[in-house]
A = this chain, B = another copy of it.
Amino acid sequence: MSKPIEARELKHGDRARQAKPLKHSIRVHWGDCDPAKIAYTANIPAWALKAIEAWWEHNAGFDWYRISLDRKIGTPFVHMKMDFRSPVTPRHILECEVVLKRLGHRSLTLTVMGYQNGVLCFEGEFVQVFVEIDRMKPRTLPSDILASISANAFETE
């Protein structure tokens, strides 16, 4: 890894080290639906965040609870945008795909796409920054966590 991963923008054509999607399945429940018989809108960003937390656990080696309590690192969101393409219902599993779009020194951009039965239901983009948990001051990720992301979040050739 000659170029520092921290400052690297991942482009679609960047086949040498293309980001690897993390697949995360979510069971949609009766109580997630509103009287229109589809998942209530506010549940959808909440599910995207759960998929993103699974990305962290799988790739960085820490879910948000452990990275916060055990490593004193916070990863607050500063931005989200979502497009809702098709209703989500309990009739199918919600399959989320989380992809690293950009890994900066002090922030990270992830995209989340949610599918049911092969249909794209929503897609979104989320930006997190890295902070010291107690003072909310910006910081970089420690090298072991960067190394873990580098080892896990990309396709192998």
Which one of B29, B63, B84 lies within 8 Å of A77 (CB-CB)?
Answer: B84
Known contacts A65-B90, A81-B80; is A30 also within 8 Å of B34 by CB? yes
Q: Is the interface of A mostly helix, strand, loop or mixed?
A: mixed
Q: Which of A6-14, A41-49, A99-107, A146-154 contacts B (4 or more CB under 8 A)?
A: A41-49
Stretch at the interface among A15-23, A68-76, A109-117, A137-145: A68-76
Closest partner residue, chain B, to A28 (CB atom): B65
**A4 vs B41: C-alpha distance in the bound complex, in angstroms?**
30
* Residues from chain B with Cβ under 8 Å of A80 in the complex: 41, 45, 80-82, 84
Given contacts A79-B82, A79-B83, A82-B79, A74 and B31 within 8 Å (CB-CB) = no
Q: B34 to A33, Cβ gap below 8 A?
A: yes
